[in-house]
A and B are shown apart, each in its own frame.
Chain A
Amino acid sequence: MTSGVLLGYCGAVLVGLGLFGLVTNPEILRKILAFNVLGNGVFLLFGVIARRGAAAGLGADPVPQALVITGIVVAFSATAMAVGLLVRLNKVSGQTIMTSDDPTNSGK
């Protein structure tokens, strides 16, 4: 088993864990963390693909690396915004759990 395949499996496991966490955890912070784990799994997959595309003297295909960098920036800003919203929610209501909503109450 080459390192590429092993890392690929790792990525898949991360994706699975992240997905599971995102679906099942009621706490919002854990959902955000699970989203990050999920994202990292995808980035790992990109890395494997980059390795596979090594050619023309380069150690790895540069395009997926560029995609990963962009993806990291996106995930970072997403996490920042989500955490910001969570902090605001906690300040306003003291809650940190995602409850099922009652839409008739949502704002005015």
Chain B
Amino acid sequence: MAPDAIVLSDATTADGYLLVLAIIFPVIGILLTLAFGGRYVERIALVLLLAGLVVAIAIFAAVLRDDQSLVYIVGNWKPPLGIALRADGVSAAMMLTIAVIICAIGLYARGEFGQSQATVPTRASYAFWVLLLAIWSGLNAMAVGADLFNLYVALELLTFAAVPLVCLKGYEETIKAALRYMLFALLGSVLYLLGIALIYGAYGTLDIALLSDRVRPEPIAWIAAALMTAGLLAKTALFPLHLWLPPAHAGAPPPGSAVLSALVVKGSFILIVRLWFDAMPGLLSFAAAQLLAALGAGAILFGSVLALRQARLKLLIAYSTIAQIGYLFFIFPLASGDSASTPWSSIAWTGGWLQLFSHAFAKAAMFMAAGLIAEAVGHDQIADLRGIGRALPVTIFAFGLAGLSLMGVPPSGGFVAKWMLLSATVMEGQWWWAVVMLVGGLLAGGYVFMVLGKALSSTTPPVLRVSIPRHSEVLVLAVALCAVLLGLVPLQPSEFLTIGRPDIHTTALQ
């Protein structure tokens, strides 16, 4: 084994401090709001949102330039006793996506939770900004965590920040939804913690790199992995564990729904991938992979059919999230197949991550558009949205673009991801997933056209209660365009997403 490979992930790299900044900046923001009081919370949040975006871009650029992952050893205590933060290609791309979406949501939320100078800040708006920052911190921590327990803490931070976002409006149904989310997520966390206990008991370490070497295919590893995965699936709301998602995402305020659907559910998904591909490579049996993908297929079919039957726009989008999450789980049987030498060099790896990123942008745009519509007409009953395309053309156009990404129509990130995943099914010979993906695209087309058809029908537009400022509509369009821009990615396994992968595995061989 080459000696220079050892150096890489055992020491803080030159720009490693950026990783700490990425986690700390939002926390600083929260502390500043506690110090300065509620009146300045929006301004502080926006400043720190901008700073965080700059940090995310810097991390992405650093990983791209150095062609290796960024590492930061906290306190200079090396694992297994200390904690390492590691940003490989996937993490860097994830953090950039998170940063862009959260900044967009922050700007969008100024409409609902913004504070003019004179008014007394409401509790809801104060809470929103603090929670947004906390969610961002949690997501960044999840992206760069290299230690299973660190990731557990990040997971909990994410959940605790996301739950109050659901019931920010204070209605009885939203509080019930928040409680349901909280308790189900807690059950998931406890199962995850139980898995950690078993792993530590068996292998004596929780650092991902070290673990990847020590793990053996034995019952304790299987049970631990299964417990952790089940717990994380509860948080990702994979079918049939999706009970909390529709009321939670539909009941939250629009910026809250956007961040919940686009980013929060993906946080636990990243952890599942890290678990099976990084921490315990070789443990993913064919049966387990097919089981996960089967649940994903169930999610796609179920979620799409149910989305078609919804009468409310926000519930339709929430069920669409349930469906789209299913696509992500095709990464398990397809990326770990035999035709590619390593999982991350297969086209399914790139396709799966691209699906995650483009869905994040598309879903954020959809919820933001739905929020604008609901604000404009006072309700979100689809049947009563006839002709709204005339009143809010930019918003509906953005909704349409996001919908095209969900359907997998070029040019969009969704199309590229779909092509890559379909190619992977052909190469692996697992054609049944291709059938599911195509049917899913059909059904997605169904519910997207259901909404667009109503919006673009030729009757006179409904009377708008409130006029929507142009810049909000343009912001939604910009987010939807990001989903379309991802369609420019070439149809090959991405090199960027493989940066830093070998680090984890060669380190373990010491």
Q: Do chains A and B touch in the complex (CB under 8 A)?
A: yes
Q: Point out residues on A near B: beta carbons under 8 Å.
A: 15, 18, 22, 28, 31-32, 35, 38-39, 42, 45-46, 48-49, 52-53, 63-64, 67, 70-71, 74, 77-78, 81-82, 85-86, 88-89, 92-93, 95, 98-99, 101, 103-108
Q: Are B190 and A39 in contact (CB under 8 A)?
A: yes
B194 touches A106 (CB 8 A): no
How many inter-chain contacts with C-beta < 8 Å in the A-B complex? Answer: 122
Let me know if B197 and A82 touch, CB within 8 A. no
Asked whether, in the complex, the Cβ of A103 is within 8 Å of the Cβ of B182, the reply is no
B194 touches A45 (CB 8 A): yes
Closest to A66 in B: B149
- Distance between A107 CB and nearest chain B CB, rounded to angstroms: 4
Pick from B156, B175, B374, B379: contact of A85, CB below 8 A: B175
Q: Which of chain A's residues have a CB closer than 8 A to the CB of B178?
A: 85
In the complex, the chain A residue whose C-beta lies closest to that of B248 is A106
Beta-carbon nearest neighbor of A8 in chain B: B201
Among A38, A77, A103, the most chain B Cβ lie within 10 Å of the Cβ of: A103
> Is there an interface contact between A103 and B247, defined as CB atoms closer than 8 Å?
yes
> A89 to B183, alpha carbons, bound, how many Å?
14
Q: Report the bound CA distance from A74 to B163 in whole Å.
A: 15
Contact call B204/A53, Cβ cutoff below 8 A:
yes
Instruction: Count B-side interface residues using an 8 Å CB cutoff.
Output: 43
The answer to whether B175 touches A88 (Cβ under 8 A) is: yes
Which residues of the partner chain A approach B190 to less than 8 Å between Cβ atoms? 18, 35, 38-39, 42
Q: With A and B bound together, what is the CA distance between A39 and B250 in angstroms?
A: 30
Chain A residues near B217 (CB-CB < 8 A): none
Q: Which of B164, B177, B201, B315 has the most CB of A within 10 A?
A: B201
Nearest residue, chain B, Cβ from A92: B172
Given A49-B200, A63-B200, A64-B200, residue A86 in contact with residue B186 (CB < 8 A)? no
Verify A107–B174 contact, CB threshold 8 A.
yes
Chain B residue contacts of A93, Cβ below 8 A = 172, 175
Within 8 A of A (CB), among B152-211: 153, 156, 160, 163-164, 167, 169-180, 182-183, 186-187, 189-190, 193-194, 196-197, 200-201, 204
Task: Convert B304-329 into 0s and 1s, putting 1 for each residue whose CB lies closer than 8 angstroms to a CB of A.
Answer: 00000001100100000000000000
- Interface residues in B210-267 (C-beta closer than 8 Å to A): 246-247, 250-251
Query: Could you tell me the distance in whole angstroms from the C-beta of A27 to the nearest C-beta in chain B?
Result: 12
Chain A positions within 8 Å of B312 at CB level: 104
- The minimal Cβ–Cβ distance linking A64 to chain B, given in whole angstroms, is 6
A70 touches B153 (CB 8 A): yes
A-B contacts, 29 of them at CB < 8 A, read A18-B190, A22-B187, A28-B179, A28-B183, A35-B183, A38-B190, A39-B193, A42-B193, A52-B201, A53-B204, A67-B196, A67-B197, A67-B200, A74-B156, A81-B163, A81-B164, A81-B182, A82-B186, A86-B179, A88-B170, A89-B172, A89-B175, A92-B175, A93-B172, A101-B180, A103-B315, A107-B173, A107-B251, A108-B169
Query: Can you add 9 more A-B contacts, CB < 8 Å, to A45-B201, A101-B177, A104-B315?
Result: A48-B201, A64-B200, A67-B196, A70-B153, A71-B193, A92-B175, A98-B183, A104-B312, A106-B173
Please, which residues of chain B bring their CB within 8 A of the CB of A104? Answer: 311-312, 315
How far in angstroms is the closest Cβ of chain B from A60?
13
Among B81, B182, B190, B247, which residue has the most Cβ atoms of chain A within 10 A? B190
A27 to B379, CA, bound (A): 33
Please, how many angstroms separate the alpha-carbon atoms of A49 and B180 in the complex? 32
Are A22 and B201 in touch, CB under 8 angstroms?
no
Say how far B28's CB is from chain A's closest CB, in angstroms: 20
Q: Is the CB of B171 within 8 A of A108?
A: yes
For the complex, what is the distance from the CA of A64 to the CA of B374, rounded to whole Å? 49
Nearest neighbor of B185 in chain A, beta-carbon distance: A78
Of B170, B172, B183, B193, which one neighbours A82 at CB under 8 angstroms? B183
Q: How far is the CA of A35 from the CA of B149 in the complex (A)?
A: 20
Taking CB atoms, residues of chain A closer than 8 Å to B156 are: 74, 78
Q: How far is the CB of B220 from chain A (nearest CB, A)?
A: 12
A45 (CB) vs chain B CBs: closest residue: B197
- The verdict on A49 contacting B201 (CB below 8 Å), with A22-B183, A22-B187, A67-B149 known, is yes
In the complex, which residue of chain A has the Cβ closest to the Cβ of B194? A42
Contact A107:B169 (CB < 8 A) given known A45-B194, A67-B196, A92-B175: yes
Chain A nearest CB from B432 CB (Å) reads: 31
Whether B153 contacts A85 by the Cβ 8 Å rule is no
Q: Roughly how many angstroms separate A53 CA and B200 CA in the complex, as a whole number?
A: 10
Check A98/B180 contact, CB under 8 A, given A63-B200, A103-B247, A107-B169: yes
B379 CB, min distance to chain A CBs, angstroms: 7
Q: Which chain B residues border A42 with CB–CB below 8 Å?
A: 190, 193-194, 197
Question: Once the chains bind, are B204 and A101 in contact (CB under 8 Å)?
Answer: no
Contacts of B187 on A, CB cut-off 8 Å? 22, 35, 38
Please determine whether A35 and B186 come into contact, CB atoms closer than 8 angstroms: yes
Please name the residue on chain A nearest to B196 by beta carbon.
A67
For B204, the chain A residues whose CB sits under 8 A away are 53
Within the complex, what minimum Cβ distance (angstroms) separates A103 from chain B?
A: 5
Tell me the complex Cα distance, A92–B193, Å: 33
CB pair A101–B175 under 8 Å, yes or no, is: no
On whether the beta carbons of B250 and A103 are closer than 8 Å, the reply is: yes
List residues of chain A with CB within 8 A of the CB of B81. 63
Complex alpha-carbon distance, A78 and B59, angstroms: 32
* A52-B201, A74-B156 known; A31 vs B183 contact (CB < 8 Å): yes
Q: Which of B174, B186, B197 contacts A78 (CB 8 A)?
A: B186
